[in-house]
Amino acid sequence: MLRQRRGLANRYKHFRNIEIMQCRKLILLVWTSLVLAGCATTGPIFSPYGGARAEQGVVYVYRPEARGLAILSAEIEMDGRLAAVLKNGEYAAIPIDAGPHTITHRWKAGLLGNSTLENRPITMLMNATQRKEYYVRLGMDSSWSSSGLKVHNQWQWDLREVTVSDAMNEIKACRLGEIR
């Protein structure tokens, strides 16, 4: 009788170990599926815009991957009209007519809002010509300082026109953002 109980106990442990292994495999399968699904939904990598009319130019506004404020979306306005919403690592191709233009960036802070971010737009003026491409980078500069045990980090965001060669090094890793 004692031998039968030990045999049943050993069988129970064996089946329990198999259940644990199957559960681990299932968790690994679900985790892998989520990771691969996330990679598959990143969108198309940068490609030149071909829809501008002959009398227009194109402004590529891009936001390279950065850790600072990565969770927030950046609203890009062209001459006071919302033109694009960019997440971290995204770009927008905005066709523009020749002449002076104002590009404005604002943070879209989400449901809870953040008045210190939303009320501080960044503006850039540019003069566009027809059939020309412009590359505008939404980037940040970070400065660190320490005093005793305190460490202070200050982020400064800016819109800056960059050369084609400098832009291509970063924008080629960006995916198309939300165009309005």
Q: For 91-141, how does the pLDDT look when each residue is reduced to its tens digit (9 = 90+)? A: 999 999 999 999 999 987 665 555 566 668 899 999 999 999 999 999 887
Q: What are the residues whose beta carbons fall under 8 Å from the beta carbon of 153, sequence distance 6 or more?
A: 142, 143, 144
Domain presence at residue 51? no
Rounded CA-CA distance 148/104 in Å is: 38
CA angle 138, 141, 143 (to 5 degrees): 160
| Structural domain of 7 | 1-41
Domain presence at residue 118? yes
Whether 31 and 106 map to the same domain: the answer is no
Domain presence at residue 48? no
Domain presence at residue 49? no
Domain presence at residue 125? yes
Whether 26 and 98 map to the same domain: the answer is no
pTM of the predicted protein model: 0.69
CATH no. for residue 87?
2.60.40
